[in-house]
Structure 1
Amino acid sequence: MVNNKETSMVASLLAVMAVVLSFFSIAQAAAKVPTVIVVGAGMSGISAAKTLSDAGIKNILILEATDRIGGRIHKTNFAGLSVEMGANWVEGVGGSEMNPIWEMVNKIKLKTFFSDYDNVSSNTYKQVGGLYAESVAQHLLDSLDNVVEFSENLSTLLTAKKQEDISVLTAQRLKNRVPSTPLEMAIDYYNYDYEFAEPPRVTSLQNTAPLPTFANFGEDLYFVGDSRGYESVVHYVAKQFLTTNKDGQITDPRLLLNKAVVQITYSPSGVIIKTEDGSVYRAEYVMLSPSIGVLQSTLIDFKPDLPPWKILAIYQFDMAVYTKIFLKFPYKFWPAGNGTEFFLYAHEKRGYYTIWQQLEREYPGSNVLLVTVTDDESKRIEQQPDSDTKAEVMGVLRAMFGKNIPEATDILVPRWWSNKFYKGTFSNWPIGVSRFEFDQIRAPVGRVYFTGEHTSQHYNGYVHGAYLAGIDSANILIPCIKKGACTYHVQPKGT
């Protein structure tokens, strides 16, 4: 007769053996030629890999160029605080549909803060001379909101009649309201560039008005201010299919860091991938998740070259640059409290340190300001020393708050455009790119498949877009692997 102690020992031994066999089977799978190599461990790459795994395709390998997962969702330490260099908001909350990122954020209980922009009219500063009268700023905000509404109605009409796309700026001209004064340009920048990171003259009307993110998921925005970082949502997805140790760290051999892909050779029989360190990997298929900016660069050499239709589709899209500059001060000299979180600076040069946010709610007592620049200003600032940027910023702050304010003690200037692994922050729909070009952007080339926020027709540029794009791209590949159904349909132009 077996006693309870012996039963317990047998059960423990079986449990240990099960864990060992699990690790052995994963290692054994990793030792084989993978079915799919996923390039990039940002949100879209991880989402695609999880979708493949959930479909039973577990013989995968993820190659990540950097030393971390998360991609353009990236926390860093700034003056003792954990701040987000890239994606910072959950955008699209409170609507009829649940934003999947908001659902994850709540599951892992990330600390978030509702962003209230209602009092911007009370906090809009002249280039020199203090605040604009609230009534003046609010009147202009309301006036330009009417232009936004006109643009949305025009976009809907053009789409319904299958008319050619136009720019947001063209819609403004049709309404005879092209911003020209410093105040008009500041509010226009707040309405458009702050969201798309590019100006209205290059931004598609039909693909951005109305914006599906807010139309479908709701108009609320929540700022992530958690020491664990926004990248926790990527880890949350990854840990659903990658093995971890007892401390919750990902130890799965199917994820390799510091593996920058520099060459992809593809043929009807499979793919061969070379990395910067000289390693060579083979697979049946590859799923590419790098940004559209990287695809537009020479980082990855395709052998043979991608076909002309694919190159054209890739280069028709824009890779925008959105730069959040953090500044720390010895003490607070700006207004604080309810209704003061966001403020604008109206300068004769459009986009010159226009959008400001004081972070007292998010980081109490930290004395930190955040200023956002985009597009050409981002690129200009990336190419100069931080000391020059700090001097420019201090000039703007002194114009707003007086000459006697203290000097910033710390400054953080992210450089997404200069980074060869990103080449920007997110994609923007330019004029004329339709469903046809979108289908071509995400269409596979032989055994090379594509994903990323830029392949999300409705949600490009957003974290939820990256997540949903990973699922969509994997679901294009899965029937090919399982059933040999590898045909991808590109809808004819104009349909």
Structure 2
Amino acid sequence: MRSLTLAISLSLAFVAGFTEAAKTVHTKVAILGGGVSAINAARNLTGAGIHDFMIIEARDSLGGRAQDAPFADIRLELGCNWVQGLGTNPVNQLRKKYGLKTAETDGDDVVFYTEGGKIDNGTEVYKKFNEVYERMNDMAFKRVENNQVDISVRAGLDLAGWYPMTPLDQAIEYYVFDWESAEEPEDSSMIGSALNDNATYSSFGEGSDGDRMVVDERGFKYIFLEEAKTFLKKDDSRVKLNTKVTKVEYNKHGVTVHTDQDLIIKADYAISTFSLGVLQHKDVEWSPALPDWKLEGIYGFHMATYTKIFLNFPYQFWDDNQFTVYADPDNRGYYNTWQNLNAPGYFPKNTSTNIFFVTVTQSESYRVEAMEDEEVRKEAMAVLRSMYGDDIPEATEIMFPRWHSNPLFRGSYSNWPIGELDQHHINMKAPLHNRLFFAGEAMSKEYFGFLQGAWFSGEETGSHVVQCIKKKCPRAEYYPIITKPDIHPNYIHKRSVVV
């Protein structure tokens, strides 16, 4: 009995000592995550004269999904790779401000292959599909004007007159649509896709239609880190790197953030910039649990995965075009889109760097992530030999990220699926008690899936928190119940209240 009492006493003393060891700090605003939206939220807080904030980031660097790594004597982007939408796009403006080196991307500079070699009629089919795709987008805009319900991209393509019958048809469809959205036409919203494309390539003024691939060996993240330096000091104590958020407690009085370090952060307000994938996978504990009306929007949205598989060779054996599309006879999207980094304007040619990389998405990404690098290399080489013959050299190096299985991201970027309503999206980003706010690319209605979506979302959310701190908190809109129009005459039960 005495031994049991002693053991219990020692256990309680250990727990008490461990609890006391955890350091508790206080801040006005805790920013959860250190990606692009977090950086811009902190930037906007600073611009409003609010300097009492902390950024809590699990990795050893800010930048989020803007990540690069060494490969074949250069550095390549594992995550976001393109400035998409030019003109006044703030990401494009940062590119210019900090002299980020990029190369113009020309998707029309493409050749087409099957397992038997180059296809002569690929350009003709590609042109036809682009014409159909434009008709589908026009249909989407008319449906918005007429207040019609959404349909899938697949249904829209059917209505526009596209019926893919051959592997080439499917390969070109994948190249134009899936390679951008990272999801299939069956899963994607026609209206959401059309409005998203239009916002990115038409809303930033003259010259906004275009993409530029980042080939700067300082990394895409460089421009965001440089911008962060305008308001953060070197080794700023407000930035907590290598610190993973494990639990978030929130109520109408404030937010308590628990981490995997001996650190607890108590804040008046918090901004979650976790990716949609992290929110969906419950990688962070919420107390109380996020409400069902919010989770319905979060679970209904899609987190897509986009995987670039880099291969380096002793010399170039592929075409000089920027892109090569492979039409697999059996599997749509199987090692479909290849890109030539030896193309003019990209990386300088040298004897050790000859990179031909291929992109896979969603289900193919999941499959590839579960394989060993060597297994993926063998599959890719089999495809290349079916295209170019058996005499091509072996790839000497391979590199690719595993975004879907990474618990800090759980995917690459978001995509608006068929079935997700505007009201769902409003719920997804709605704050709780006007204490816990949500930001990130997925929270941007216009620019979801794009870097500018993260940038704008961080700016908007930072502005809302500033208003709250200055006692002018905006009233938050959310929809506790979303009903079908044939069930409830008002369609939506809407509240505009503090939630």
Q: Same fold (TM over 0.5)?
A: yes
Alpha-carbon distance in 2 for matches of 1:487, 1:458: 21
CA distance in 2, matches of 1:66, 1:300: 15
Provide the residue aligned with 2:169 in structure 1. 184
**1:152-209 C-alpha deviation (Å, 9 max, x unpaired):** 1111111112111111001112234232311011110011111100011111111111
The equivalent of 1:139 in structure 2 is: 124
Q: 1:231-289: CA deviations, max 9, x gaps?
A: 01210221121012xxxxxx111001011101001112211111123421111111000
TM-superposed CA distance for 1:435, in Å, is 2.4
**1:37 aligned onto 2:37:** no
Residue identity opposite 1:356 in structure 2:
W
Cα separation, 1, equivalents of 2:227 and 2:450 = 16
Is 99-108 or 269-278 further displaced after alignment?
269-278
Counterpart check, 1:91 vs 2:84: yes
Query: Which letter does structure 1 place at the counterpart of 2:315?
Result: Y
How far did residue 489 of structure 1 move? Answer: 2.5
Q: Is the 8 A contact 1:164 1:432 kept in 2?
A: no
Which segments of 5 or more consecutive residues in structure 2 lack a partner in the other structure?
Answer: 1-22, 483-490, 495-499
> In the alignment, is the contact (CA less than 8 A) between 1:204 and 1:430 conserved in 2?
yes
Q: What is aligned with 1:198?
A: 183
Q: Shift in Å at residue 32 of structure 1?
A: 6.2
Partner of 1:434: 421
2:438 paired with 1:450: yes
CA distance in structure 1 between the aligned counterparts of 2:95 and 2:109, rounded to whole angstroms: 27
- The correspondence of residues 44-55 of structure 1 with structure 2, limited to 5 A, is 44-55=37-48
2:404 is matched with which residue? 417
Which residue of 441, 445, 462 corresponds with 2:450? 462
Q: CA RMSD in A?
A: 1.7
Q: Give, in angstroms, the shift of residue 420 of structure 1.
A: 0.1
Q: CA deviation at 1:31?
A: 9.3
Aligned: 1:104 with 2:89:
no
- Give the structure 2 partner of residue 355 of structure 1: 337
The answer (yes or no) to whether the contact 1:169–1:178 under 8 Å persists in 2 is: no
2:202 to 196, 211, 215: 215
8 Å CA contact 1:44–1:470 kept in 2: the answer is yes
CA contact (8 A) 1:313 1:441 kept: yes
Question: Deviations for 1:357-376, whole angstroms, at most 9, x for unmatched residues?
Answer: 11014222211111110000
SS in 2 for 1:189: helix
Match of 2:261 in 1: 277
- Mapped partners of 1:132, 1:32: distance in 2: 64
Map 1:314-463; keep pairs closer than 5 Å: 314-336=298-320, 340-348=321-329, 349-360=331-342, 361=344, 362-363=346-347, 364-365=349-350, 366-446=353-433, 447-463=435-451
- Paired with 2:66 and 2:399, the residues of 1 have a C-alpha distance of 16
> Aligned partners of 1:176 and 1:223: how far apart in 2?
32
Alpha-carbon contact 1:325-1:413 (below 8 Å) kept: yes
The one-letter code of the counterpart of 1:228 is R
Give me the whole-angstrom Cα distance separating, in 2, the residues matched to 1:60 and 1:178.
54
Distance 1:450 1:52 in 2: 15
- AA aligned opposite 1:104: L
Letter in 2 for 1:359: L
Which secondary structure state, in structure 2, belongs to the residue aligned with residue 35 of structure 1? Answer: strand
Query: Tell me, what secondary structure is at the counterpart of 2:190?
Result: coil
Which SS does the other structure have where 1:151 is aligned?
Answer: helix
Counterpart CA distance in 2 for 1:31 and 1:377 is 44
Q: Does 1:256 align with 2:213?
A: no
- For the residues of structure 2 that align with 1:429 and 1:31, how far apart are their CA atoms? 39
Percent identity between the two aligned chains: 38
Cα distance in 2 between the residues matched to 1:297 and 1:283: 25
Alignment partner of 1:310 is 2:294: yes
Give ranges in structure 1 of 5+ residues lacking alignment. 1-29, 245-250
Amino acid at match of 1:449: F
Letter in 2 for 1:168: V
Aligned to 1:241: 231
Q: Distance in 2 between matches of 1:31 and 1:130?
A: 64
1:482 and 2:470 are equivalent in the alignment: yes
Distance 2:146 2:295 in 1: 29
CA–CA distance in structure 2, aligned partners of residues 58 and 334 of structure 1: 53
Q: Residue 497 of structure 2 corresponds to which residue in structure 1?
A: none
Distance 1:138 1:177 in 2: 16
Q: SS of the counterpart of 1:296?
A: helix
CA-to-aligned-CA distance 1:397-447 (integer Å, 9 cap, x gap): 101111011110100021011100000000000113232222111110121
8 Å CA contact 1:78–1:412 kept in 2: the answer is yes
| Cα distance change of structure 1 residues 299 and 278 upon mapping to structure 2, 3 Å threshold | farther
Q: Does 1:152 align with 2:137?
A: yes
Tell me, what secondary structure is at the counterpart of 2:59?
A: coil
**Residue type matched to 1:89 in 2?**
W
What is the deviation of 1:486?
A: 4.6
- The equivalent of 1:175 in structure 2 is 160
Counterpart-to-counterpart distance in 1, 2:231 and 2:118: 53
The residue type paired with residue 164 of structure 2 is P
Q: After the TM superposition, which of the residue ranges 172-181 and 416-425 deviates more from structure 2? A: 172-181
Structure 2 SS opposite 1:206? helix
Residue of structure 2 in register with 1:19 after alignment: none
d(CA) in 2 for partners of 1:490 and 1:159? 22
Q: Secondary structure at the match of 2:173?
A: helix
> SS in structure 1 opposite 2:248?
strand
- Which has the larger share of strand? 2
Equivalent position SS for 1:243 = coil
Instruction: Provide the C-alpha distance between the structure 2 equivalents of 1:255 and 1:432, rounded to a whole number of angstroms.
Output: 39
1:219 offset after TM fit, Å? Answer: 2.1
Could you tell me how far 1:314 is from its partner in structure 2?
0.7
Q: Secondary structure at the match of 2:425?
A: helix
SS at match of 1:284: strand
